[in-house]
Copies of this chain bind each other. A is one copy, B any other.
């Protein structure tokens, strides 16, 4: 494997360097080919690295950024005043070819806007979309997008999301002729919003897309489709709903091994079984698939959960490594030419 350099927006996210620096070291430890550019306040980064292994330290470079985009800033304003922020400088590393991808846990709207401004959308794409890959009940995976890069999506955008999702399913998950579905509130053609019905009509008429129609919310994890397309608002609420329910189940399971009043052997068995169950459900733990990929740009940008812990942020860095290795932007660009309508 060749050298791989990623830029990290160290200051982004709810916990900033406390999470991003240890996660960066962990990622370096697990991939000897990885180099990282840590963008942020040099003093804070240096002190966070005080006890770091010097071998890992050698694959790190600190890039100074004097300010941070607040997580509650209005994206439009944050973008106007973004010069010198850790997020912008991290993205500039990708733009200028010094890094192959950028990872940030910062303000989603600002990241989306700045990435579009600096890295430019691919031909045929109006707006990038946030995508993740979820494990489903049939032991396969489903590509899910948009998870909130856009608040409002028209039919043309939904079609573009469908095409990008199909390319990821084909190129990354190696599914030939991946099934593509649109989320809706019923399976009948007449159901739902106009934008969704119009997108369905376009997809139905596209021989390059294996469009299977509408699916409802309860099919998110059933494996009935390889690609599930949401508008950004619904996708964001859906993914977070799923995460909330999964976290609740995992915490209920965890409490299962506890309870002081039970006999020691019952507690022991409880804990054994709890471990088995946690293992069985662990693949659904939101920390395991942190890092949504911003698709549709001429570069790779990974958005981590703002509240990601060290383990979850490490997973986001690893998502970036995979996206670069699999050349997702290049492959989407190549396929878009064939699938999307030509603009004259």
Contacts and interface: CB of A to CB of B under 8 A. Distances in A.
A185 interface: yes
Nearest to A192: B151
Interface stretch (A3-11, A28-36, A155-163, A213-221): A213-221
A238 to B, nearest CB: 5
Contact of A277 (B239, B256, B280): B256
Interface residues of A, number: 53
Contacts of A246: 245
A256 B151 CA distance: 41
A222 interface: yes
Contact of A269 (B217, B252, B269): B269
A266 B209 CA distance: 48
Interface stretch (A117-125, A166-174, A229-237, A313-321): A229-237
Nearest to A269: B269
B237 A221 contact: no
B244 A185 contact: no
Contacts of A234: 233-234, 237
A138 to B, nearest CB: 11
A217 B240 CA distance: 5
Given A221-B248, A238-B241, A249-B249, A188 B148 contact: no
A52 interface: no
Contacts of A152: 193
A260 to B, nearest CB: 16
A201 to B, nearest CB: 16
Contacts of A81: none
A2 interface: no
Contacts of A148: 185
Given A151-B185, A190-B74, A244-B222, A249 B281 contact: yes
Interface in A101-115: 108-109
Residue of A183, A222, A242, A281 with most partner-chain B CB within 10 A: A242
Residue of A191, A217, A219 with most partner-chain B CB within 10 A: A217
A126 interface: no
Contacts of A240: 216-218
A239 B217 contact: yes
A152 B231 CA distance: 14
Nearest to A216: B240
A233 B190 contact: no
A273 interface: yes
A233 to B, nearest CB: 6
A17 interface: no
A137 interface: yes
A59 interface: no
Contacts of A191: 109
Given A216-B240, A217-B241, A248 B192 contact: no
Contacts of A275: none
A20 to B, nearest CB: 20
A173 to B, nearest CB: 20
Contact of A238 (B137, B222, B237, B269): B237
A119 to B, nearest CB: 23
